[in-house]
Structure 1
């Protein structure tokens, strides 16, 4: 743009028309001072009229041409150019060049004002260039977001980074023009204040580095469900920008997280679960230890009536009797030899029940396991994956499983641990 401005200024060095009005006024016996000011004023009005007329015509032509082309083309890129006002901003370039070219002639008798206006127009040229760049980049951003392969990419971050450098270069160029210092010398002098610049743009620099790492390592995409306990975020990522990541929580609130926090702190991304074939159910029932016991013959006969485990009990009982008979085990005490326990049979019941549950993914892990004893009791954990990963249905499936298991506990003469309530103390006092 600066080279173009220099060429424009050099193309009209003489301006033979600059004193036409002045000469005419002098012939009419008007004083020289008044003639000079009227000459400048009338030329300025003429220049402004020409600029506004040219700007209006070019703007109408460009916008009309882009709009007609957008209607006929199959891609929506040109539609987005019109939406982001790229043709409108481009239309101002030629009127600006006309102003820069003819201002020296209009203010030929006012060199100080001419110098100020030339600098002002050059600064405006830089600003207009930035507007055009921003319009094109916003158009590119909107267009890429319509493409499936770019929907989950942090396009906003890259556009913001480029615009930051563009604005920084534009501001430095404008300062160099205003102060009259050559741009190269001006940039060289900035080395002395680089520490201040880094301090001022600390968050921007951190966000820029973080956005690159997030993108390269594919840590977060737009649409991912993430949980970030430090910032109270639990929901879907709706925007990734240079400085922040916006998460829409499930209660529809918006949490804003610094982009660099994604690489400096720990968070959970649920994308792996969403892309898998099931969602994990991992929850335990705590069994009272004093309710765990060996099964008597009578208890075994009762449990054989439960269809899911009747075959298992028959098989296990036959193996146990054969072992005990072979080794001459004294069964007057249940502890001797091999025996069935109510918690062991219940664990087998859980396993069989889960394998027959229609909402459980049979191709993934299915396990009922006993965890280490705690002061409250023995945790009996269900580890399984639901076929339906949608939150509402997932919660329903998990509740359905544990509703059944909790109701099944008394059939195995097991009790669930529960802290005493006020009614428990009242009952104890009444018995006392």
Structure 2
């Protein structure tokens, strides 16, 4: 085979010497370049045609048209870049076959081909990592590990190593010599790559402690973030706020600063209602017999009032209490009966979670009246349904307050003062 190539080379040199002007070696080198170019083009075309048929739909099975388009683009891009790598290898092989060893032309061809191989090998690695990322994004039960940040770290490291290898080939030196020289530049490198390093460490901590993942509801007032996490990258975390704006937060800020993750609420299946109704304190009083008789007709209060009246009457009789004096004995108050009504209302409500905390409590009175707070959980975490349930409950509460002889507190306004003055 070697003799055949030598004979063919001698024949071409002889033919160029007889028929072409100028240097025969120049014409021979031009012919070699044309041959390598044509051979590489044909090889590239064949590889892409074969690979497109063989690899079609084999990266991952798309679930919708958008994912199908992504799979097709990434697959075609990977095949294209791998074929370029193969072309570079073929150029190196062809150069050693047709160009004499030790010539300048061979050195230039090999140098250019090696740089070509390194470049497209790096781009092929990038595309392969993008395919892994797309396959991970497709999964509905994605792991909490920040894969995007890890992939960006691998890309960054591969780019640095590829740059060192390319420079070492240009200089004709071993890559180890350049790597050993980076020790003196470590301080500069730490400064330049401060954010990626901090982001990588933060991403590992977020993943190891299961603190944050894509899809979580994150609230971080310091950065104006209140919405769903849509991306966790090497250096940034993107949050789509409820007003559809995008907030970008440095990844390491999630470790150095505090934030609220609402994932626990979503996973629990219940969302908290914690709201108070403020009552006028001068409307609080004991219930008289007429009011008790009226309230006892209510389904949610009949058993409670009967049971409490029986216990109160028994205790007052045993102690021979003089009930003609309002300060003596035990009596039912309108606010206490009102609280019990709210407890019964929430316990039979179809949209209140009965397996979680359910309290109706009286808070400390203030200039804004007597707060009666409802502390309960809905059995859904859907925002629209949650607001509807909460609003319906307080609509009902505001409507039934007068039945108990109570009044909702309202701060006086200028109109109230003018009306009072005119009346006087």
Verify same fold: TM over 0.5: yes
**Greater CA drift, 207-216 or 259-268:** 259-268
2:111 equivalent to 1:126: no
Counterpart for residue 421 of structure 1: 413
For residues 278 and 11 of structure 2, the distance between their equivalents in structure 1, rounded to whole angstroms, comes to: 102
Q: Please state if 1:190 is matched with 2:182.
A: yes
Is the CA contact 1:152–1:223 (under 8 Å) kept in the aligned structure 2? no
**Residues 1:145 and 1:153: Cα distance change in structure 2 (over 3 Å):** farther
Contact 2:335 / 2:406 at 8 angstroms: preserved in 1?
yes
Cross-structure match for 1:245: 237
**Is it true that 1:25 corresponds to 2:16 in the alignment?**
yes
Does structure 2 retain, via aligned residues, the 8 Å contact 1:145–1:151?
A: no
Q: CA deviation at 1:403?
A: 0.7
Structure 1 residue runs without a partner (length 5+):
1-10
CA distance, structure 1, for counterparts of residue 421 and residue 106 of structure 2? 101
Q: How many residues align?
A: 415
Residues 1:76 and 2:61 aligned together: yes
**Match of 1:44?**
33
Q: Is the 8 A contact 1:107 1:113 kept in 2?
A: yes
2:278 aligned with 1:286: yes
Aligned-CA RMSD value: 3.1
The secondary structure found in structure 1 opposite 2:44 is helix
Where in structure 2 are the equivalents of 1:2-401 lying within 5 Å? 16=6, 21-27=12-18, 30-31=21-22, 34-67=23-56, 70=57, 76=61, 80=71, 83-84=74-75, 85-103=77-95, 114-150=106-142, 153-401=145-393
CA distance in 1, matches of 2:111, 2:321: 108
Retained in 2: the 8 A contact 1:18–1:105?
no
Map of 2:65 onto structure 1:
none
- Structure 1 residue 283: Cα displacement: 0.9
State the TM-score, normalized to the length of structure 2.
0.87
Q: Give the whole-Å Cα distance in 1 for the aligned partners of 2:306 and 2:264.
A: 42
Cα drift, residue 342 of structure 1: 1.8
Partner SS, residue 392 of structure 1 = helix
CA apart distance, 1:311: 2.8
Taking the aligned partners of 2:20 and 2:349, their CA distance within structure 1 comes to 109
Q: 1:286–1:378: 8 Å Cα contact kept in structure 2?
A: yes
* Structure-2 separation of matches of 1:130 and 1:277: 46
Q: Mean alpha-carbon deviation: is it higher for 367-376 or for 286-295?
A: 286-295
CA shift in 2, pair 1:238/1:28, >3 Å: closer
Q: CA deviation at 1:236?
A: 2.3
Distance 1:269 1:144 in 2: 22
8 Å contact kept, 2:84–2:117: no
Q: Give 3-state SS (helix, strand or coil) of 2:55's partner.
A: helix
TM-score by length of 1: 0.85
Taking structure 1 as reference, are residues 92 and 430 closer, same or farther at Cα in structure 2, changes over 3 Å only?
Answer: same
Describe the SS at the equivalent of 2:247.
Answer: strand
Larger deviation, residues 403-412 vs 241-250: 241-250
SS in 2 for 1:308: coil
Post-superposition offset of 1:278: 2.2
Counterpart-to-counterpart distance in 2, 1:405 and 1:36: 100
Q: Distance in 2 between matches of 1:42 and 1:282?
A: 84
Equivalent residues of 1:226, 1:268 under 8 A apart:
yes
Residues of 1 paired with 2:280 and 2:9: CA distance?
104
Structure 2 gap segments, 5+ residues each: 63-67
Is the partner of 1:247 in helix, strand or coil? Answer: strand
Cα displacement (A) at 1:81: 7.7
